[in-house]
C-alpha cells in the first residue's frame, strides 16, 4: 500500500479505529475552519494510561473524555461497542462529508475578544485549532507515514536515545499510529512535534522536516516562546546577582496580595487596609470592565520592592507551563527597561523599528508570521518596569500609527500599542510605580490593580520556604517578629529577602538571637540598595562601578531634610509644593529613588500626594539628615538642640566631630518631644561604629573624613540618661542604647 493510501486509511478510519488524538476532518475542511478553536492538553507528561486491546492501538484516553463535545461521537473498541461503532463507521464512510461532520471531535465556537468567557472554561484551554493536539497529530502522522521502514527504524532508535521513557524494544513493537499516539501522550503534543522534526533532520529527511515545520508553524512558534520564557524566568536573582546565589522561582515564590483598585477616590498609603477581595495572579486577565466587557489594558502598580516583576514572571511561567490562561496564544514580555536600553544604547539615533521588528528582536520567528495581526488572535503584551522608560511619552501629539510593519521611534510604538492602534487584538498589561503609570491617560486604561505585598502569613511562608533547615527558618521567623517596625516593613518582599539574608548570616554567630534585632542596619541597607538600583537602572552604571555622585548625595540629604520637616509637623503625606521647596526633582523622588511613593487617587481634581515607603522610613531619613549636618557643619538641626558657632569649630581634618556632642544635642531636643523618639533611636543606631563608619560615611561624604570620635563617651552619656530619665522616657532611651551598642544586624 502506498503512503497516501496509508494516511487515508489511518485518518479516515478504514480498517482501524481512529486515534483519540487525531482529527478525522479532511484537509479542505481543516483549512476552512482555520480560525476555529479546539481543546488542548498540557505540554507536560500527562501520566494518563491508555486503554488498549490485544493489539497495540490507541482507543480511549482520559484526555479524549475531557475534550468530548456534545455533538461528537467517541469511538470505543471494547466488547459490544467495538462491533457497533465499526458498523457505524462503515455506514458513515459511504456518506463522505457527513461522516466527518458526525465523528470528528467538534471544536467549540471561537472565542472573540468581545465574548464573555467563563473563568473555568478559559482555564481549561479553549485554543486556536492550529495550536491544538488534533492538528499536530494529523500532520505528524501525514509526514511520518511517507517514511520507509528503514527510516522509521532509525527514527525510533533516535527517540529511544533522546527520551529515556521510551524503550527501544517497545518502540519496534509499535506501529505508526501507536508511536505518534504514545509520543503525544508522554511528551505533550508540542514536544512530540519538536522531537519529530529533529528526528527527521537527524535521518536526513530535510524536505519532510521542513514540510512538517510549515504545517505547524504556529505551534512551533508558541513552543519556542514558552521555552524562552521558562529559561528567562525560572531562576530569580534577589539583591545583587552572584554566581550560585540564585533561587528557583518555584521554590521561593509567595504570591503577594493583589487587589482591584476601589472606585471611591480615596488615597491609599502602603499598609492601609484596603478591604478588598484579593486576586490570584492567574485571574488578572479575567477581569472585566464596569460594562462587563473584557479588559484590554490592565495596569498594576506598587511601591519599589513590592514584587511587580516577580508577579509578572510568575504569570508568564504559569502560561508557559500550561498551568493557566491556556486560551492565550502568545504571552510576549516587553520590559520597558529593555526597550529603554535598546533605544538609548543599542540603536543609532536615527534608527527606527516597526513593532514586529521589536518583537522579532527579542523573540525570533514572529517577523514572517502574521498571527499577531489577526483580529481573532488572543495574545498578551506584558509591559513590565514601565517607570524605567525615561523618555517622556507624548500622549496628545504622538502621531497615530496602525501599520505594524511601519518603522517608527520606540516612543511612537509604545504610545500606539497602549492606544490600541497597533496590534488591536493584543491585551496589554502594564506594571510600574504609581507616579510613572499615572502619566497614562485614564481613558486608555480599563482596570487598575495594586500589589500590597505580604500579609503576616505570607511573610512567614516566604521566610520559611527559603531554608531547608527548619530550625533556622523557625528562628528567623520568630526573631523578626520581635520588632514591630520590622514586621511592618517586611510587608515588602524586598525587605523580607533582606531579613532572610541578614538573619541567616547572623544566626551563624554563637549566642545570636538573645536580643531583638536592631533596626538601623536594615534601613541603611534599604536606602543603599535602592540608591544603587537607581544608578544601575536609571543612570546606566554597571554593578561593579557604582559611584554616588554629589547630586545623588544632595538628593538624599534634601530628602532627609524634607523628612525631618514633616516629622516635626507630625505629618506623613507631602505634596508637589513640598518637593519643590526642598529643591527636589519630582520624578527623581517619586519614581527613581525607590524611597517614596505617589498615593493614588481616582479623584483627578485632587492634588497629587506622596509619602515615604513607611512612616518609620521617614523617621530614618530624618535621622540621616541630622547625622550628615552634624558631620559636615558641627550643628544638630533639631529644635532645642543647641548649636556651636561654625566659625569656632576646628577643621574636620584636624579634629573629628565628637559623638558625645551629637548625642547630647539630640537627647536635649527629644526629651520633651515624643514624636522624635524614633529619630533619636535611628540616630543612635547610625552613630554605632559599624553603621556610620562602614555603611554610611564612605557614601555620604565623598572626601575622606574621619569617623565620629569618642564613641565610648557617647555610650556613657546615654547610659546616664537612661538612669536619670523619667519613667515614661526611659524605655525609648534603652532602645536607643541597644541600637548604639548591640553588635549585630
What is the DSSP-derived secondary structure letter of residue 72?
Answer: -
In 3D, which of 617, 599, 604, 560 has the Cα closest to residue 583? 560
Does residue 159 sit in the same domain as residue 45? yes
335 in the same domain as 253: yes
Over 90: is that where the pLDDT of 556 sits?
A: yes
Which distant-in-sequence residues (6+ apart) come within 8 Å of 177 by Cβ?
10, 16, 19, 57, 58, 141
pLDDT level of residue 40 (50, 70, 90 thresholds):
very low
Residue-wise pLDDT tens digits, 489-504: 899 998 999 899 888 8
pLDDT surpasses 90 at 618? yes
466 and 449 part of one domain: no
Average pLDDT (711-723) is 90
Neighbouring-strand partners of residue 300: 431, 449
**How many helices (H) does the chain have, and how many strands (E)?**
34, 13
Is 250 within the bounds of a domain?
yes
> Confidence band (pLDDT; 50, 70, 90) for 245?
low
Alpha-carbon gap, residue 568 to 637, rounded angstroms: 11
How far, in Å, CA of 479 to CA of 513, rounded? 7
pLDDT of the residue at 642:
54
Same domain flag for 592 and 637: yes
Same-domain check for residues 329 and 435:
yes
Q: What is the mean pLDDT of residues 343-365?
A: 89
Structural domain contains residue 582: yes
Same domain flag for 189 and 170:
yes
Q: At 605, is the pLDDT very low, low, confident or very high (cuts 50, 70, 90)?
A: low
Check whether 97 has a pLDDT greater than 50.
Answer: no
Tell me if 224 is assigned to some domain: no
Q: Give 643's pLDDT tier (boundaries 50, 70, 90).
A: very low
Write out pLDDT tens, residues 417-462: 999 999 999 999 999 998 889 899 999 999 999 999 999 999 999 9
Lowest-confidence segment of 183-192, 422-431, 541-550 by average pLDDT: 541-550
Query: Residue 55 above 80 pLDDT?
Result: no
Q: Are residues 545 and 684 both part of a single domain?
A: yes
Alpha carbons 40 and 190: distance in angstroms, whole number: 10
Asked whether residue 139 carries a pLDDT value surpassing 50, the answer given is: yes
Domain boundary (215, 243, 276) is at 215
Distances 425 to 19, 330, 361, 428, 648 between C-alpha atoms, Å: 35, 12, 21, 10, 72
Residues 259 and 451: their CA atoms lie apart, in Å, by 7
Mean pLDDT throughout 735-744?
88
The band of 684, judged by pLDDT with boundaries at 50, 70 and 90, is: very high
Residue 222 lies in a domain: no
**Per residue in 329-341, pLDDT tens?**
999 999 998 998 8
Q: Which of 48, 342, 347, 354 is nearest to 184 (CA)?
A: 48
Residue 221 resides in a domain: no
Looking at 453, 474, 509, which one is the last position of a domain? Answer: 453
pLDDT at 246 over 80: no
Mean pLDDT, the chain, integer: 79
Q: What is the pLDDT of residues 359-380, one digit of tens each?
A: 999 999 888 778 898 888 899 9
pLDDT score recorded for residue 353: 94
Q: Rounded to whole angstroms, how far apart are CA atoms 653 and 651?
A: 5
What mean pLDDT is predicted for residues 175-197? 92
pLDDT at residue 6, as a whole number: 45
Per-position DSSP letters for 297-366, written without gaps between them: EEEEE--TTS-HHHHHHHHHHHHHTTSS-TT-SEEEE--HHHHHHIIIIIS-TT--B-HHHHHHHHSTT-
Cell of 663: 548625642
Contact predicate 422/332, CB 8 Å: no
Q: Which of 575, 561, 688 is nearest to 618 (CA)?
A: 561
**Last-in-domain residue among 453, 477, 500:** 453
Q: Which among 560, 631, 564 has a CA at the least distance from the CA of 593?
A: 560
Instruction: Indicate whether 522 belongs to any domain.
Output: no
Give the CATH number of the domain where residue 169 resides.
1.10.533.10
Per DSSP, what are the bridge partners of residue 299?
430, 448
Instruction: Report yes or no on 220 lying in a domain.
Output: no
- Predicted pLDDT at 19: 40
Question: What pLDDT does 328 receive?
Answer: 94
- Residue 76's pLDDT band, with cuts at 50, 70 and 90, is very low
For the stretch 666-682, pLDDT in tens is 998 888 888 999 999 99
SS3 at position 629 = helix
Domain that holds residue 435: 229-453
500 within domain boundaries: yes
The structural domain count of the chain equals 4
| Start-end of H helices in 591-636 | 615-633
The 10 Å CB-count burial string (b at 16+, else e) for 110-138 is ebebeeebeeeebbbbbbbbbbbbbbbbb
Q: What is the mean pLDDT of residues 539-562?
A: 88
- The reply to whether 189 and 249 lie within a common domain is no
Do 400 and 467 sit in the same domain of this protein? no
For residue 192, pLDDT beyond 80: yes
d(CA 621, CA 596): 11
Top-confidence residue, 573 or 370: 573
Q: Above pLDDT 90, what percent of the chain?
A: 44
- Which CATH number do you get for residue 432? 3.40.50.300
Q: Which whole-number Å values give the CA distances from 99 to 12, 24, 77, 361, 736, in the listed order?
A: 9, 9, 18, 46, 85
Model confidence at 266, pLDDT cuts 50, 70, 90, reads very low
Burial of 93 from C-beta contacts in 10 A (0-12 / 13-18 / 19+) = middle
Mean pLDDT of 485-491: 90
**Is residue 406 located within the same domain as residue 377?**
yes
- Tell me: pLDDT of 283 over 80: yes
Q: Between β-strands 257-260 and 447-453, what pairing exists: parallel, antiparallel or unpaired?
A: antiparallel
Alpha-carbon distance 675 to 98, whole Å? 84
* 261: confidence class by pLDDT, cuts 50, 70, 90: confident
3-state helix, strand, coil in the chain (%, to 5): 50, 10, 40
Question: Does 36 lie in the same domain as 161?
Answer: yes
Is residue 681 within 8 A of residue 694, CB to CB? The reply is: no
Across 143-172, average pLDDT: 90
Q: What is the pLDDT of residue 47?
A: 37
* Same domain assignment for residues 447 and 461: no
Amino acid at each position: 500500500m502506498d503512503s497516501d493510501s496509508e494516511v487515508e486509511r489511518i485518518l479516515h478510519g478504514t480498517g482501524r479505529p481512529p486515534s483519540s488524538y487525531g482529527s478525522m476532518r479532511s484537509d479542505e475542511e481543516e483549512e476552512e475552519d482555520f480560525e476555529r478553536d479546539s481543546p488542548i492538553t498540557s505540554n507536560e507528561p500527562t501520566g494518563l494510561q491508555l486503554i488498549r486491546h490485544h493489539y497495540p492501538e490507541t482507543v480511549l484516553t482520559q484526555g479524549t473524555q475531557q475534550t468530548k463535545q456534545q455533538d461528537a461521537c467517541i469511538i470505543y473498541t471494547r466488547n459490544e461497542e467495538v462491533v457497533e461503532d465499526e458498523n457505524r463507521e462503515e455506514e458513515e464512510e459511504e456518506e463522505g462529508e457527513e461522516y466527518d461532520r458526525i465523528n470528528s471531535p467538534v471544536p467549540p465556537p471561537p472565542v472573540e475578544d468581545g465574548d464573555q468567557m467563563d473563568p473555568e472554561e478559559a482555564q481549561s484551554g479553549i485554543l486556536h485549532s492550529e495550536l491544538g493536539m488534533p492538528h499536530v497529530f494529523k500532520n505528524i502522522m501525514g509526514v511520518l507515514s511517507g517514511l520507509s521502514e528503514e527510516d522509521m527504524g532509525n527514527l525510533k532508535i533516535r527517540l529511544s536515545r533522546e527520551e529515556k521513557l521510551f524503550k527501544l524494544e517497545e518502540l519496534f513493537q509499535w506501529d505508526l499510529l501507536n508511536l505518534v499516539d504514545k509520543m503525544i501522550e508522554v511528551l505533550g503534543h508540542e514536544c512530540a512535534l519538536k522531537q519529530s522534526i529533529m528526528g527527521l533532520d537527524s535521518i536526513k529527511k530535510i524536505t519532510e522536516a521542513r514540510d512538517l515545520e510549515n504545517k505547524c508553524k504556529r505551534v512551533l512558534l508558541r513552543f519556542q516562546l514558552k521555552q524562552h520564557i521558562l529559561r528567562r524566568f525560572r531562576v530569580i536573582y534577589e539583591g545583587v546577582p552572584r554566581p550560585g546565589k540564585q533561587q528557583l522561582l518555584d521554590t521561593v515564590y509567595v504570591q503577594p496580595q493583589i487587589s482591584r483598585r476601589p472606585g471611591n477616590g480615596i488615597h491609599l498609603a502602603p499598609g492601609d487596609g484596603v478591604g478588598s477581595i484579593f486576586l490570584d495572579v492567574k485571574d488578572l486577565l479575567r477581569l472585566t470592565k464596569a460594562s462587563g466587557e473584557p479588559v484590554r489594558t490592565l495596569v498594576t502598580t506598587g511601591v519599589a520592592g513590592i514584587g511587580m516583576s516577580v508577579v509578572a514572571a510568575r504569570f508568564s511561567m504559569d502560561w508557559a507551563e500550561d498551568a493557566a490562561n491556556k486560551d492565550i496564544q502568545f504571552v510576549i514580555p516587553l520590559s520597558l527597561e529593555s526597550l529603554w536600553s535598546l533605544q538609548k544604547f543599542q540603536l543609532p539615533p536615527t534608527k527606527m523599528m516597526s513593532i514586529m521588528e521589536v518583537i522579532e528582536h527579542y523573540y525570533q520567528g514572529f517577523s514572517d508570521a502574521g498571527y499577531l495581526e489577526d483580529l481573532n488572535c488572543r495574545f498578551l503584551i506584558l509591559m513590565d518596569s514601565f517607570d524605567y522608560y525615561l523618555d517622556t511619552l507624548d500622549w496628545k501629539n504622538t502621531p497615530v500609527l496602525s501599520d505594524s510593519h511601519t518603522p517608527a521611534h520606540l516612543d511612537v510604538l509604545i504610545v500606539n500599542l497602549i492606544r490600541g492602534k497597533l496590534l488591536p487584538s493584543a491585551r496589554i498589561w502594564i506594571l510600574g510605580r504609581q507616579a510613572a503609570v499615572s502619566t497614562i491617560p485614564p481613558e486608555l486604561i480599563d482596570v487598575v490593580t495594586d500589589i500590597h505585598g505580604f500579609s503576616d502569613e505570607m511573610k512567614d511562608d516566604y521566610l520559611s520556604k527559603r531554608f531547608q533547615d527548619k530550625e533556622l527558618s523557625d528562628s528567623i521567623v520568630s526573631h523578626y517578629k520581635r520588632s514591630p517596625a520590622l514586621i511592618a516593613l517586611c510587608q515588602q518582599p524586598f525587605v523580607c529577602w533582606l531579613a532572610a539574608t541578614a538573619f541567616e548570616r547572623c544566626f551563624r554567630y554563637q549566642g545570636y538571637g538573645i536580643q531583638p534585632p536592631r533596626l538601623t542596619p536594615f534601613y541603611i541597607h534599604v536606602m543603599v540598595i535602592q540608591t544603587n538600583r537607581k544608578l544601575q537602572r536609571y543612570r546606566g552604571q554597571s554593578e561593579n562601578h557604582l559611584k554616588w555622585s554629589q547630586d545623588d548625595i544632595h538628593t538624599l540629604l534634601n530628602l532627609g531634610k524634607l523628612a525631618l520637616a514633616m516629622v516635626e509637623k507630625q505629618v506623613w503625606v507631602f505634596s508637589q509644593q513640598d518637593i519643590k521647596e526642598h529643591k527636589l526633582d519630582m520624578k527623581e523622588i517619586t519614581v527613581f529613588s525607590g524611597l517614596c511613593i505617589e498615593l493614588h487617587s481616582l479623584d483627578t481634581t485632587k492634588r497629587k500626594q506622596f509619602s515615604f515607603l513607611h512612616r518609620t522610613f521617614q523617621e530614618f531619613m530624618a535621622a540621616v539628615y541630622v547625622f550628615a549636618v552634624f558631620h559636615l557643619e558641627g550643628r544638630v538641626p533639631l529644635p532645642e538642640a543647641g548649636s556651636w558657632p561654625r566659625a569656632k569649630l576646628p577643621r574636620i581634618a584636624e579634629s573629628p566631630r565628637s559623638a558625645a556632642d551629637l548625642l547630647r544635642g539630640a537627647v536635649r531636643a527629644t526629651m520633651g518631644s515624643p514624636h522624635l523618639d524614633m529619630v533619636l533611636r535611628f540616630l543612635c543606631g547610625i552613630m554605632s561604629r559599624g553603621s556610620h563608619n562602614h555603611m554610611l560615611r564612605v557614601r555620604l561624604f565623598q572626601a575622606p573624613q574621619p569617623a565620629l570620635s569618642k564613641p565610648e563617651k557617647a555610650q556613657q552619656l546615654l547610659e546616664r540618661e537612661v538612669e536619670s530619665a523619667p519613667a515614661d522616657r526611659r524605655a525609648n532611651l534603652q532602645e536607643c542604647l541597644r541600637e548604639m551598642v548591640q553588635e549585630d544586624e
